[in-house]
Structure 1
Amino acid sequence: MGSWRDQILREFTPQVARLTLVADPDGLLLEEGVLEGIRERGFELIPFEDHVAFRYAYESKFRSRWDRGEETDLVVVLRSPSSDLDALPYDLLQAGRKLSFSLSDLFPNLSYPVVAALDRADLDALFDAQLRHAPGQLGDNATKDFILRHVFDIAPELIKEPQGLLRVLLRRHYRGQRIPAILDERLIQMLRQNGRFEDWPLEAIIPDGQAFFAFLQERWPVFLDQFAAQMLGEKCKVREVEAHYALSTPHLPFDHPDVRIYLDNLFFEGLLQPVPHKQSQMLAKTWVAYGIEVSSEENRRRRMEGLLDALEKTIPTVEVRHGEWLQFAYRWAELVALELEPDTILPEGYRARLQALRSRIDSALTDWVMKRYGSLINLPPTPPVMLHHIPRFLARSLGDDRRSKIAFLLVDGLALDQWIVLREVLSEQDSSLRFRENAVFAWIPTITSVSRQAAFAGKPPIFFPASIHTTDKEPALWTQFWVDQGLNANEVAYAKGLGEGDLDKVSELISRPKLRVVGLVIDKVDQILHGMALGAAGMHNQVRLWTKQGFLRDLLGILHTKGFQAYLASDHGNVEAQGVGRPAEGAVADVRGERVRVYSDYRLRAQIKERFPQSLEWPPIGLPEDYLALIAPYRTAFVREGETIVGHGGISVEELIVPFVQIERQNR
């Protein structure tokens, strides 16, 4: 029968009807692979969510073309049951054919509420398991058990030893695997029933990767004491640790093969930190060496070597889902941050490997973006995948609790590797801060007026063509988004130009009694970026120095004191690039950036490309039809030949994949 997607895609034959109306209550058409399949068949898709925004896109992009006699295949998706299709505007109902898809049709024998909680990426494994095992009609718990076993490879009844549970949790949290809360609850229930993990903090470490790695970090020194004592032939003496997670036995089986296989990567990628030990010289000659603090130079060398080895083997291919690039970007950012630390002296062999790796990554990302980027725009906002998903995600986090408040901090121009630097300094300044780290895709071209504006508007740039060359409309777009979500205008605030000495202004702003949502633009990093003459290393140094001045720490302190949930993101990153010459187009380019030029005429863009044949003519994906970007080739810039700059606008991991972090404060 093929995949579950085949059952949907077979309904989309080009030129059958120029308009197709789809009832899609479970968001199946918004799954990445389905979106790509629909686009490959020549269809264009618009979700029917905001009536005004939909009508603008429908009239300007499709109705006008039909009136000119052009043929297109348009799909309008309504996230409601099929009965709601009749509520669509009359002109759509007259012109379109109707379709309906739901999870209950694909998985008729499984509990609908349980299946509906799954990430759509997990439906492949579930559909295959359904075909292979042909389960009869299953209730809620039986469906949960079936999914745990066949989708996530977790058989709770077989987890009887610590290494078994650690193996399951390491596989899950290292890969950032998302498992619905109802399945976590079922797993915890079954583990508690067998009585073998009564003293484990299961409710914390099973659903929460951060809590799990903190748990491992806490137990690692205890394991080292036992390991050292065994080597010395002494009776095991275990140090007392200030434990956040009480555990009756101090020993975790880090040396078990199923656990040990993960440990080196956990330390290399910064998920665990090396610790000092009185027997460090002896332990440094064993397999636990990567978890021992010896010297900053040696620890850095080990991490760089380990990250280089891992990254060279795991560059994502053109066929992968977006999540693999987001995870890869964090590992790459850790390596870049190590490379650019102030006192790092790289051996020549490392430099050659890094340069070759950069070239491979740039090529792989460009290929992937050309094939799959367009499918990201309409993905569901939980979790957010692109910047314009963030406001809708925040709206869901805000919920119906009138006491909840959210602050969205957008650090203009902050690359993911610079976030690593910023995070390190913040942790040193305030040990109570906790970071729930994710990443999202910026908009292409990766410039402020496109990407930052989308982050505050909560919609693609095609919906704000009049302001796409400026950011002046951001406050109105931000407020309008939240008014559309049911808030009053006086419950929403926005401020920009922050970064130095603005705390009184922010404190006054967030003290408004009715305020529930605030958007804050911190543009200090962008100012550093546009004045940077010392390359990527200079950027890291300046970001570190600015963070040490304490503005961000103090801002977070004010927000947390006032009861705000704080989320931090960036609109685009930046990259060091070499000049290849300036296009001689005079004043006819709408945007004359260093990494991108934007034109409103196809012929003019084509003329400039002739001079720079390696440059990329970016299609207006999610952009106004006359917003035509020409992107500079890999890590090059449209500046004087041979000149080195730090810029943005192009397609690289550093520019395109940006941090999205919830910053919490742990109660002491």
Structure 2
Amino acid sequence: MTKKKILWVDDEIDSLKPHILFLQQRGFEVLTASSGDDALVKVRKETLDLILLDEMMPGKDGLTTLEEIKEINPHLPVVMVTKSEEESLMEEAIGQKIDDYLTKPVNPSQVLMVAKRHLDTKKIISESQIKRYMTEINRFNQKLFGALEPQDWLEAGRILAAWDLEMDESPDEGLEQTHLGTRKEWNTEFTKYLDRHYLKWLHSDHRPVLSPDVLRKYMIPPLRAGQNVLLIVVDCMRLDQWMTIESLLAEFYNIQRESYFSLLPSATPFARNALFSGLFPDQIHQMYPDNYGGDDEGSLNRNEDRLLADFVAREKVKLTSNVRYEKVFDNTEGEVLAKRAADFYQSQLVAFVFNFLDIMAHGRSNNVILKEIAGSEAAFRSLMKSWFIHSPLFSILKSFADRKFTVIVTSDHGSVLCSRGTMAHGRRDTSTNLRYKYGDNLNVDTRHALLVKNPAEFRLPRFNLATTYIIAKEDYYFVYPNKYNEYIRQFQNSFQHGGISLEEMVVPIAVLTPR
């Protein structure tokens, strides 16, 4: 292993031989220079990892030398060693981008500590990261041998999302591969768990929070207490994606983050309608027969404002004003809405739906450039964060932070990165989604997908006597036998939703109260 190379610059370098020997014994290679000019020669000649630079030297002083070092190699870490902690001097040094400083007299342990901090931090963090990861993952793996509760799977989703973000900050290729294996294993076990328990959830009053329960739990109580509520639904936002932007809002809000389970299919026509109405899809179909009447899936959510208003009325909440509802499809519409934010300040219940993430996830499959930019889950999170920072949504949230609103941010479902195709068999008029389908007499390999022959059992609409649903498991997506290669080529490694996975079904919900 190559030793890290340190250059120590001091006009009294001979007096520092014990310190230099101490560093050498700890595995560092130490070069020396007794003047600024001598140091600059070595900076040009040698490949260095760190410089310890005396601030007070005859001739070319430390600050002048620092400036010239940064011109030669702006990324080389420099630690200033000074006799003075005078504020103006330190401000000037910091302005010239020193990475750290030590105050004379220095002892060998101080020097070693600062060297390790700048040269071994990545190694130390990596070793600590691996240890913490294995401890947390093994702790949950032990639960897989026992009787798991729904809350355990919400926690599993949180663990995976939290480690996604940590690995974004400190990537380690080996650990990332281990994490992918963990995700796959946990999704397999989650699918088995749902096979055993999902129907019980649907027909029990003691179920975990599902899509129809969300607003009843989080929105109705503050409304009953007379508070103003802003409901933000970001279509297709995963837990890890919310956690990526959550810290940006911490300056403006106190944030209470939880999560809930999306209904199946974990897709907008079912999960979001259930979210707004407080009803299961079969109840929606019964009460609003026209809601599922269109062939275009986008049209299946055209009544959200009515569903929300009717839900509030059924809960017997008397609002001081009508429900205000807006749906935003693109940035231009969002900017117009942000400029009109003040128009909503006097309303007790305001609901905004943002479709950007869903559009971006779908667009990624058809756009080569977008697929290159967001080629992985980490890249997609980064792109989402960049969008949010410059988005009308962020502007709206900041503007409402100055108002007395309880803000609820959630989604209807997440998405999963699909890697495996599985054959779906059905007629031409079968719905087109790649993670779920409904139509007449559908069939599929039940190792790869859930086959729903009795929609009523799953609280889903039945459109005729032959209506069936198929819902993909883990990271599978549906392909047709006659277009197998075409679908594999286009949709492998694409983000899809509607199926059974932790990424799709564990949905964030955050309650924000202004600071």
Equivalent residues of 2:322, 2:349 under 8 A apart? yes
Per-residue deviation, 1:442: 0.5
Structure 1 stretch displaced more, 292-301 or 652-661: 292-301
Per-residue deviation, 1:521: 0.6
Equivalent residues of 1:536, 1:575 under 8 A apart? no
Q: How does 1:566-577 map to 2 (within 5 A)?
A: 566-577=407-418
2:271 alignment partner in structure 1: 451
Q: Which structure has the greater CA radius of gyration?
A: 2
2:139 alignment partner in structure 1: 313
From the superposition, tell whether residues 426 and 513 of structure 1 become closer, same or farther in structure 2 (CA, over 3 Å): closer
1:519 alignment partner in structure 2: 351
Within the candidate set 155, 166, 183, 1:358 is matched to 183
1:473 aligns with 2:303: yes
In 2, the alpha carbon distance for the partners of 1:661 and 1:605 equals: 38
Per-residue deviation, 1:461: 1.1
From the superposition, tell whether residues 352 and 512 of structure 1 become closer, same or farther in structure 2 (CA, over 3 Å): closer
Instruction: Read off the aligned partner of 2:352 and give its amino acid letter.
Output: L
Instruction: Read off the aligned partner of 2:230 and give its amino acid letter.
Output: A
Equivalent residues of 2:236, 2:415 under 8 A apart? yes
In 2, the alpha carbon distance for the partners of 1:483 and 1:294 equals: 61
In 2, the alpha carbon distance for the partners of 1:476 and 1:489 equals: 17
Equivalent residues of 2:436, 2:469 under 8 A apart? yes
Equivalent residues of 1:446, 1:650 under 8 A apart? yes
Equivalent residues of 2:416, 2:503 under 8 A apart? yes
Per-residue deviation, 1:513: 7.0
From the superposition, tell whether residues 464 and 294 of structure 1 become closer, same or farther in structure 2 (CA, over 3 Å): farther
TM-score (norm 2): 0.64
Per-residue deviation, 1:504: 4.4
Instruction: Read off the aligned partner of 1:630 and give its amino acid letter.
Output: I
From the superposition, tell whether residues 528 and 660 of structure 1 become closer, same or farther in structure 2 (CA, over 3 Å): same
Per-residue deviation, 1:441: 0.3
Per-residue deviation, 1:358: 2.2
What whole-Å deviation, never above 9, does each CA across 1:260-317 have from its counterpart, x for those lacking one? xxxxxxxxxxxxxxxx9997975999xxx9xx99846754663354134312331454
Instruction: Read off the aligned partner of 2:210 and give its amino acid letter.
Output: M
2:471 alignment partner in structure 1: 631
Instruction: Read off the aligned partner of 2:488 and give its amino acid letter.
Output: E
1:549 aligns with 2:379: no
Q: How does 1:86-105 map to 2 (within 5 A)?
A: none
1:328 aligns with 2:153: no
What whole-Å deviation, never above 9, does each CA across 1:151-202 have from its counterpart, x for those lacking one? xxxxxxxxxxxxxxxxxxxxxxxxxxxxxxxxxxxxxxxxxxxxxxxxxxxx
In 2, the alpha carbon distance for the partners of 1:497 and 1:280 equals: 56
TM-score (norm 1): 0.50
Within the candidate set 351, 364, 376, 2:201 is matched to 376
1:491 aligns with 2:338: no
Per-residue deviation, 1:451: 0.6
In 2, the alpha carbon distance for the partners of 1:550 and 1:294 equals: 38
From the superposition, tell whether residues 328 and 634 of structure 1 become closer, same or farther in structure 2 (CA, over 3 Å): closer
Per-residue deviation, 1:519: 1.5
From the superposition, tell whether residues 448 and 301 of structure 1 become closer, same or farther in structure 2 (CA, over 3 Å): farther
Within the candidate set 403, 415, 420, 2:243 is matched to 420
From the superposition, tell whether residues 387 and 305 of structure 1 become closer, same or farther in structure 2 (CA, over 3 Å): farther
In 1, the alpha carbon distance for the partners of 2:471 and 2:225 equals: 45
What whole-Å deviation, never above 9, does each CA across 1:441-483 have from its counterpart, x for those lacking one? 0011111111111111111111112324510111110111112
In 2, the alpha carbon distance for the partners of 1:293 and 1:490 equals: 61
From the superposition, tell whether residues 380 and 510 of structure 1 become closer, same or farther in structure 2 (CA, over 3 Å): farther
In 1, the alpha carbon distance for the partners of 2:131 and 2:428 equals: 48
From the superposition, tell whether residues 505 and 319 of structure 1 become closer, same or farther in structure 2 (CA, over 3 Å): same
What whole-Å deviation, never above 9, does each CA across 1:128-169 have from its counterpart, x for those lacking one? xxxxxxxxxxxxxxxxxxxxxxxxxxxxxxxxxxxxxxxxxx
What whole-Å deviation, never above 9, does each CA across 1:23-58 have from its counterpart, x for those lacking one? xxxxxxxxxxxxxxxxxxxxxxxxxxxxxxxxxxxx
Q: Secondary structure at the match of 1:651?
A: coil
Per-residue deviation, 1:571: 0.8
What whole-Å deviation, never above 9, does each CA across 1:299-355 have from its counterpart, x for those lacking one? 46633541343123314547322112112211111112334x2873412xx344223
From the superposition, tell whether residues 380 and 567 of structure 1 become closer, same or farther in structure 2 (CA, over 3 Å): farther
In 1, the alpha carbon distance for the partners of 2:111 and 2:321 equals: 59
Identity of aligned residues (%): 18
- Unaligned runs of 5+ residues in structure 1 are 1-275
Equivalent residues of 2:210, 2:263 under 8 A apart? yes
Equivalent residues of 2:435, 2:478 under 8 A apart? yes
In 1, the alpha carbon distance for the partners of 2:134 and 2:210 equals: 28
From the superposition, tell whether residues 398 and 447 of structure 1 become closer, same or farther in structure 2 (CA, over 3 Å): same
Equivalent residues of 2:331, 2:391 under 8 A apart? no
In 2, the alpha carbon distance for the partners of 1:494 and 1:444 equals: 25
Q: How does 1:103-502 map to 2 (within 5 A)?
A: 295=121, 299=125, 302-303=128-129, 305-315=131-141, 316-317=143-144, 319-339=147-167, 341=168, 344-347=171-174, 350-377=175-202, 385-402=209-226, 404-427=227-250, 431-465=251-285, 466=289, 467-468=291-292, 469=297, 470-484=300-314, 485-487=316-318, 490-497=321-328, 500-501=331-332, 502=334
Within the candidate set 431, 437, 441, 1:597 is matched to 437
What whole-Å deviation, never above 9, does each CA across 1:110-133 have from its counterpart, x for those lacking one? xxxxxxxxxxxxxxxxxxxxxxxx
Instruction: Read off the aligned partner of 2:231 and give its amino acid letter.
Output: F
In 2, the alpha carbon distance for the partners of 1:665 and 1:594 equals: 40
Equivalent residues of 2:126, 2:172 under 8 A apart? no
From the superposition, tell whether residues 550 and 479 of structure 1 become closer, same or farther in structure 2 (CA, over 3 Å): same
Per-residue deviation, 1:505: 2.2
From the superposition, tell whether residues 294 and 563 of structure 1 become closer, same or farther in structure 2 (CA, over 3 Å): farther
- Unaligned runs of 5+ residues in structure 2 are 1-99, 103-109, 365-370, 480-486
In 1, the alpha carbon distance for the partners of 2:328 and 2:301 equals: 12
Q: Secondary structure at the match of 1:443?
A: coil
| Greater RCO, 1 or 2 (C-alpha within 8 Å, sep 6+) | 2
Per-residue deviation, 1:548: 2.2
Equivalent residues of 1:410, 1:571 under 8 A apart? yes
Q: Secondary structure at the match of 1:518?
A: strand
Per-residue deviation, 1:374: 3.0
From the superposition, tell whether residues 569 and 293 of structure 1 become closer, same or farther in structure 2 (CA, over 3 Å): farther
More strand by share: 2
From the superposition, tell whether residues 314 and 384 of structure 1 become closer, same or farther in structure 2 (CA, over 3 Å): closer
Equivalent residues of 2:338, 2:393 under 8 A apart? no
Q: Secondary structure at the match of 1:623?
A: coil
Q: Secondary structure at the match of 1:650?
A: coil
Equivalent residues of 1:293, 1:299 under 8 A apart? no
Equivalent residues of 1:499, 1:551 under 8 A apart? no
2:488 alignment partner in structure 1: 641
Instruction: Read off the aligned partner of 2:328 and give its amino acid letter.
Output: G
- Matched positions, count: 371
In 2, the alpha carbon distance for the partners of 1:635 and 1:529 equals: 15
Within the candidate set 450, 475, 491, 1:616 is matched to 450
